[in-house]
Structure 1
Amino acid sequence: MLKEERQAFIMKQINLHNKVLSTDISAMLSISEDTVRRDLKEMAEEGKVLKVHGGAIGRSFHYPFDEGNSVYAQAAKKQIAEKTLKLLKNDMVVLTGGGTTMIELAKAIPVNLRATFFTISPLVALQLVEHPNLTVITIGGQLSRSSHIHIGASVINQLSEIKVDLCLMGANGFSIQDGMTESDWEVVQVKRAMLRATNKMAILSIAEKLNSSQRMKVCDLNQINYLITELEPDNHFLGAYQHLDLQLF
């Protein structure tokens, strides 16, 4: 495989999953980790990605408010945000994760919505607090350098003390076979705590992320109430999910 093809593949994986590990790319492409590290170093020097321990993350994810960074699949994420608004009602208590889709949602919330939002993402909190009728509460702890959400025992303890009407979360991996999956064990623990803290769970995901799996399991799909993508619910691509006990938006 040519260097340009390798780097295009790496960039695609970063766009979809926000972060890649050198070991995973090495296994996917059957190349040495040294080759992957050289590619990531070159891509970082060109300003395409940010290197982190063991891999790399996308610039648009790391700096979502930098207008010089384009958000991957932003039009689709805006569609998902508009669909998600159907689930939001006055006086609800909502819990959110982080990520660029969640930021698009925070931007789209109508100014007249009256609700309380808990979030583990300081970036989402900064966007939510612009709305005059929202009460915004951050669940604090150690800030993950790669995912920009709060992680750790203090976050899990705080989540154990609340019960919300609706939780809105992104998915790094989502498939019929493996359920919802993640690449970071600390993030898995926080997402599991978020599941325990809510009455209803909605996953917001661009369709490209469906039918993909990461290393670590968060939950089975029977724990998810809503799956929101940019596609129409009857789209043939969602065929396998149309027979599950979850509502498609």
Structure 2
Amino acid sequence: MLKKERHDFIMRQINLHNRVLTSDLVQLLNVSEDTIRRDLQELVDEGHLFKVHGGALSKSYHSSFDDSTVYARDKKIVIAKKATELIKDGMVVLIGGGTTILEFTKQLPQGLSATFFTISPLVAVELAKYNNVEVVLIGGLFSKNSQVTYGGHVISQLSEIKADLCLMGTSALHPEGGLTDTDWEINQLKKAMLACSKKSAVLCISEKLNITLRLKVCPIESISYLVTELDKEHESLSNYQKKDVNIL
């Protein structure tokens, strides 16, 4: 595979999943670790991503959040607007992190009165702009890769919450494989979030559908709502409809 083809592949993985691991790229591209390290450094030097220990992050996932770098932002705005239909006054909402979730926070109605618990400092900052929204940031260890808090202390706090709705983004969703991820800590975090919520909604661009990663969060049946940019009758969603997932 030519270097440009490797770079294009790496950037697609970054755009879809917001982060990549060097070890995964070595296996997926069947090249040496040194080759991947050089590729990542070149992409860093060109300003396309941020290099971190063990891999790389999307520029749109960095703390200096910049709308112009968000991959598929138009699609994520469509998803965000649909997802706001699930939010009602008086609700207790548990919300994750990521670029689609950040777009969601910007689409909420100004007069909304609700309580939001979040593991994302960036999401907390956006939610704090609403006068009638109470924001609770759940503290713990901070993941530089995922830009959220995690660990046993966070999971312990989550166990004390009874949320009406949990909203989260995803790296991959499959009608048979369910919700999956690549990061063990984030995987455990998502499980804890789902466990303390009456209902759940996954916000997912269609490019992340029909993909399965190595760590399972939950089966598709555990998800109450699937929100994509597609029309709910789109043929790509037929296998999800068969699983009785409510599609927005």
Give the alignment's TM-score, normalised by structure 1.
0.97
- CA deviations on 1:39-81 (whole Å, 9 max, x unpaired) are 00111111111111221111111146335x5100000000000
1:229 maps to a residue whose letter is: T
Q: Does 1:14 align with 2:14?
A: yes
Q: 5 Å matches for 1:237-248?
A: 237-248=236-247
Match of 1:171 in 2: 170
1:57 maps to a residue whose letter is: L
2:184 maps to a residue whose letter is: W
Match of 1:137 in 2: 136
Supply the distance in 2 between the matched residues of 1:230 and 1:157 (Cα, whole angstroms). 34
- CA displacement at 1:195 relative to structure 2: 0.7
Supply the distance in 2 between the matched residues of 1:25 and 1:65 (Cα, whole angstroms). 25
- CA displacement at 1:177 relative to structure 2: 2.8
Supply the distance in 2 between the matched residues of 1:63 and 1:149 (Cα, whole angstroms). 11
Q: Does 1:186 align with 2:181?
A: no
- CA displacement at 1:22 relative to structure 2: 1.6
1:109 maps to a residue whose letter is: L
Of the structure 1 ranges 108-117 and 176-185, higher mean CA displacement relative to structure 2 is found in 176-185
- Cα pair 1:26 1:36 within 8 Å, conserved: yes
- Cα pair 1:64 1:71 within 8 Å, conserved: no
SS state at 1:38 partner: helix
* Sequence identity percentage: 51
User: Pairwise CA RMSD of aligned residues?
Assistant: 1.1
Supply the distance in 2 between the matched residues of 1:182 and 1:10 (Cα, whole angstroms). 17
- CA displacement at 1:122 relative to structure 2: 0.5
Of the structure 1 ranges 24-33 and 202-211, higher mean CA displacement relative to structure 2 is found in 24-33
Match of 1:120 in 2: 119
Supply the distance in 1 between the matched residues of 2:64 and 2:216 (Cα, whole angstroms). 27
Q: Which runs of 5+ in 1 are unaligned?
A: none
Q: 5 Å matches for 1:6-155?
A: 6-63=6-63, 65-66=65-66, 69-155=68-154
Q: 5 Å matches for 1:207-218?
A: 207-218=206-217
Supply the distance in 2 between the matched residues of 1:6 and 1:197 (Cα, whole angstroms). 41
Q: Which runs of 5+ in 2 are unaligned?
A: none
Supply the distance in 2 between the matched residues of 1:106 and 1:114 (Cα, whole angstroms). 13
- Cα pair 2:127 2:135 within 8 Å, conserved: yes
- Cα pair 1:64 1:100 within 8 Å, conserved: no
Supply the distance in 2 between the matched residues of 1:26 and 1:239 (Cα, whole angstroms). 34
- Cα pair 2:176 2:220 within 8 Å, conserved: no
Supply the distance in 2 between the matched residues of 1:161 and 1:63 (Cα, whole angstroms). 28
- Cα pair 1:21 1:54 within 8 Å, conserved: yes
SS state at 1:213 partner: coil
- CA displacement at 1:21 relative to structure 2: 1.2
2:187 maps to a residue whose letter is: V
Over 3 Å counting, the alpha-carbon distance change for 1:88 and 1:64 in structure 2 is: farther
2:181 maps to a residue whose letter is: E
SS state at 1:212 partner: coil
- CA deviations on 1:118-172 (whole Å, 9 max, x unpaired) are 0010000000010111011111101100000000111000000010100001111
- Cα pair 2:168 2:201 within 8 Å, conserved: yes
- CA deviations on 1:78-132 (whole Å, 9 max, x unpaired) are 0000000110111000000000111111111011111110001000000001011
SS state at 2:44 partner: helix
Supply the distance in 1 between the matched residues of 2:234 and 2:64 (Cα, whole angstroms). 30
Over 3 Å counting, the alpha-carbon distance change for 1:64 and 1:240 in structure 2 is: farther
SS state at 1:131 partner: coil
Give the alignment's TM-score, normalised by structure 2.
0.97
4+ long deviations beyond 6 Å: none
- Cα pair 1:103 1:124 within 8 Å, conserved: yes
